[in-house]
Structure 1
Amino acid sequence: MWILISIVFFIPILSAPPASPESYGMVEDGWEEHIRQSILKIADLEFEDGLTMLDEYIKVYPGNPGGYFYYAVGVQEKIQKLGDFSELKRFYKYAGKCQRLANKRLVKNPKDSVARLFLGATDGYIGLLEARRRNILRASKNAVEAKSRLERVLSERPDIPDTYFGLGMIYYFSSRKAQEEGGIISWVIKRFITHGKDMRREGIEMLDHAMESDAFSKDYAKSALMWIYLYEHDYERAKTMAIEIADEFDRDTLARWVLGRVALVQGRCGEAKQWFKKIVELNITLGAPDTLYLEVPVAIIKAEVCARTRDKQFRAAYALNEETLEWLNDDPKVTLEYQDEKNLIKFWKDESEWTKKKLEFLIKRNSRQP
C-alpha cells in the first residue's frame, strides 16, 4: 500500500519542473534567500539574529501567516536546544498569530493548501514542545490535528516538500511513543494517528524526501534523521549525518553529542570525551547555564571510565563508574536526548551495572596476582 501511495505522490514531483518555496507560496516573492539565511542562523544557535531577520519579513508582510510561523519555529528551536522555557510565551504568541491569519485565509479560500500547511505544521511544533514538557496527552491531541491537516495538504499539493517533514516527524515519533508509553496515550496514538500500524519506516522515508529537497525544513529533516538513526542503533548513518551537521554549523551541540555517543558506544573513549568536552566549551561560549545539559558531565565521566579501564586503572575506573551510577539512580533528567530519555537512562544504567561487575572482577583478580 505504501508503495502505491508513494507512486501517486511522487510522480507529480518527478515530472514537474524544479520548484522553490516562492513558487508554491511558502514565502513572498524575493524573500526566499532572506528566510533561508534566517533559518541557517537559528540552526547555528544565532537565535536572536535569525529572529530579527524574520521580524523584518513580518513587518513588510504583517498579514502573511508565514512570517509568524517561521518566527515561532525559531523560538521553538531555542527552547528545544537551550531548554529555555521562559520563551514559551513568545512561542505561543507567534504560533497563535500564525494560526489566526491562516484560518482567515482558509475562510476566504478553503482550498488554500499553504495556509492549511502553516496550521498543521504549527500544531506539530506545539505537539513537540508539549511532549518536551511531558504533556503527552496534549501533545498527542496536537499531533492528531497536525496529521489531519498535513495529510490533506499532501493529497492536494504533493509538490510542497515541507509537508513531508511534518508528516515524517509525526509518523515516526508517534509510532515510537505508542510502543513506549502504553495505556491511554498508546490508545490515542494507535486510534487516531497510526491506526494500529508501525509507521516508523514511512516517517523515515518522508524525512529523507524532505532532506533531499529544497524544503525550508531540509536541515531540520537531516537533524531529525540523525537522531532517528541513533535511536535505531544505525550508528554509521547517525555518525555520517552528525559529521555533516557539525561541519556546517560550528555552534551546533546536538550533532556533537551524537558523535560523542556513537564514539562511546563503539569504544572510542578518547574521541567520545573530546566531543563531549566540545559541548561544554560551546555552552560557555553561548553563555548557557551550567545546568543546561547535566548529562554531558556524566558522559565525560563514562568516557573516562572507558579510558581508565583500557589503561588497566581499574580502581580509578570503578570510582568514576560509581559516580555515574549515583547520578543514574537519582531520578536523572536528560536534555539533549530527551526524545529517547527512558531508553538512554536504561542503557546507561545497565551498562554501568555491567561495568561495575566487570571492574570488581578485574580488581579482585589483580589483587591475587603477586
Structure 2
Amino acid sequence: MSKIKIIIIAFLASLLLSAAELRAGISQDFDGRIDQGLEILYQGDYDSAVVIFDSFIRDHPKNPAGYFFKAGLYQTRMSAYESDFWHRYYKNSVDSAIMLCDLALDDDPGDAWAYFVRGGSFSYIAAWDARQGKYLAAFRNGLKAVADFKKAREIDSTLYDAYIGIGSYHYFRTKATSLLKWLPFIGDAREQGVSEIITAVEKGRYSRVMGQNALLWIYTDYGRDKKALELGRLLEKQYPNNPFFHWAVPEVLWRQKRWPEAEAAFGRLVNLLEGQNALNNYNKVVASYKLAKCLLENGKYHSAYRAAQQSISYPLDQDTAGRLVNERRRAQEVMLQAEKRIRENQ
C-alpha cells in the first residue's frame, strides 16, 4: 500500500465505531444490540450486522446511535472491499446521525453522547473526503469532529472513547503537515495522539477493537514495526476469518524483507480473500502479486509464476483495472523473472 493510502485507512479505522460510556440524554434508550452488531461486524459478517443495527433503529428511531454505527459499518465495508458500492447507504446513515444529534442537542445542550456521535459522524465524512483526494474538505470536517469530541470530553471527563478521535486528530494533523504543505506546522503531536488512543482502548466502552486497529496502522505508518507485528498478530488471532484485520502483518514483513514470513502471511491472506465474495477483485490482485514476489525472493520460481499469473488473471471492471495498473505490471515482471530462473535451472 502507498503511504497516503495507509494513512487514510488508519485515519478511517481509528475513528470507526467508537462510542462513549453512556450516561444520559440519547443514551437512555441504548441497548445491547449495538455490542452484538459490532462483534458480528468484527467477524466480517456485514449483512448480519446491518440487520441488527436496523433492528435497533426501528425500535429507537430518534436515537442517532443506530445510524452512526451503521455508517461506520458501511465505511468499514467500503475500505475492506476497496469499493464505493455502499456509498449511498453510508451517506444516508451519516446524514441521519448528524440530523438526529442536532435535534438531541437542541433539546439538551449538555448531552455529551450526542456531541460524541456527531463528532464521529463528521470524522466519517472527513475520512471519505480524504479518500477522494479532497484534503481541504477533509481538514475542515476533521476540525468539526475534534471540536465535538473535545466538547463531549469537557461535559463528561470520563467519556474516554472521545480520546480516540482527539488522539487520531493529533497524530494525523502532524502527518498532514508533511503531505499538505499549505497547513501550518504546529509541532509534533504524534506521541500525544498515540497516548490518547491507548487511553481510549484501555478505558473506553467501545473502543478496544477498532482502537487497536487504529494503533496497528499508526505503528505501521510510524515505523514501529515490533509493536505493529505484536498488535497485528493479536487481532489476527481474535478475528481469524476476517481479511480486514490481516493486512498489516504481511505489509510490515514485506517492508522488512522477511520474505519467508511474508510469504506465509500473504498466503493466509490470499486464502481468506478467495473465500470472500469480492465485488471487484482489487484485494486479490494486490495480495496475489505480493505473494508472488515473496515466492520469487524465496527461490520458489514455479509457485511465483503461478501466483503472479493468477494476479493478472482476475476479471476487473474498468475503474479497478485503472487503479491496478502498477500492481499488474509488477506481477508481469515477477512472471518474467520467474520464467527466466526456471529456464536457467533446467
TM class, shorter-length: 0.7 to 0.9
Identity %: 20
- Name the counterpart of 2:315: none
Tell me the amino acid that sits aligned with residue 144 of structure 1.
Answer: L
Q: Does 1:242 align with 2:241?
A: no
- Name the counterpart of 1:295: 286
Q: 2 CA distance for matches of 1:227 and 1:26?
A: 32
Q: Is the 8 A contact 2:21 2:161 kept in 1?
A: no
- Name the counterpart of 2:48: 49
Q: Is the 8 A contact 2:232 2:246 kept in 1?
A: yes
Q: 2 CA distance for matches of 1:92 and 1:254?
A: 22
- Name the counterpart of 1:17: none
- Name the counterpart of 1:275: 265
In structure 2, the CA distance between the partners of 1:333 and 1:199, relative to structure 1 (3 Å rule), is farther
1:214-253 matches, within 5 Å, as 214-253=204-243
RMSD between aligned residues? 2.9
Q: Flag structure 2 segments of 5+ consecutive residues without an equivalent.
A: 1-19, 313-320, 331-336
- Name the counterpart of 2:61: 62
* 2:296 paired residue among 297, 301, 305: 305
1:1-370 matches, within 5 Å, as 21-23=21-23, 27-28=27-28, 31=31, 33-183=32-182, 187=183, 190=184, 196-289=186-279, 291-293=281-283, 294-308=285-299, 333=323
Q: Is the 8 A contact 2:254 2:262 kept in 1?
A: yes
Q: 2 CA distance for matches of 1:207 and 1:249?
A: 21
Alignment length (residue pairs)? 297
Tell me the amino acid that sits aligned with residue 244 of structure 1.
Answer: L
Give the secondary-structure state (helix, strand or coil) at the position aligned to 2:133: coil
TM-score, normalization by structure 1: 0.72
Q: Is the 8 A contact 1:283 1:289 kept in 2?
A: no
Q: Is the 8 A contact 1:269 1:303 kept in 2?
A: yes
1:37-92 residue CA offsets vs partner (Å, 9 max, x unmatched): 21121122111111111111111110111111111111111111112202111111
1:252 shift after superposition: 2.7
Q: Flag structure 1 segments of 5+ consecutive residues without an equivalent.
A: 1-19, 325-330, 335-344, 350-358
Give the secondary-structure state (helix, strand or coil) at the position aligned to 1:86: coil
Q: Is the 8 A contact 2:64 2:117 kept in 1?
A: yes
1:254 shift after superposition: 3.9
Q: Is the 8 A contact 2:126 2:139 kept in 1?
A: yes
More contact order relative to length (CA 8 Å, sep ≥ 6): 2
1:125 shift after superposition: 1.2
1:118 shift after superposition: 1.1
Give the secondary-structure state (helix, strand or coil) at the position aligned to 2:85: helix
In structure 2, the CA distance between the partners of 1:303 and 1:104, relative to structure 1 (3 Å rule), is same
1:245 shift after superposition: 0.5
TM-score, normalization by structure 2: 0.77
